[in-house]
Amino acid sequence: MPCFLNLFKGRMISHRGKRENMSTNNQRAWRCYCVRGDHENEICLIEISMGADRLRSRASIILLNVASGELFVWHGCKALPHCKELAMKAAERLKEK
């Protein structure tokens, strides 16, 4: 998997659902992404459903409003320092867009 993620240079985003299927289409303004990866070139954002039950103490989460451009980064209390750093780098890359 890390070799595959290196192809995207730390900019891979996996969205939920299918655009063609309205029952699984998640085209709302707010989107929630779990940050994965161990190195800067392996960062992957995976969209998860929103809700307090989705927050994990060892994870970093990015909350993005695609309509207004608002962006929040949440770190769990047990998130490792390098995971927090990768989440902040991913947030910076989203701001560039």
Sheet strand arrangement including 60-65: 12-14, 44-48, 30-36, 60-65, 71-75
DSSP at 68: T
pTM for this entry:
0.81
User: pLDDT per residue over 72-87, tens digit each?
Assistant: 999 999 999 999 999 9
d(CA 13, CA 66): 14
Burial status of residue 87 (CB atoms within 10 A of its CB: 0-12, 13-18, 19 or more)? buried
User: pLDDT per residue over 21-47, tens digit each?
Assistant: 666 555 678 899 999 988 888 889 999
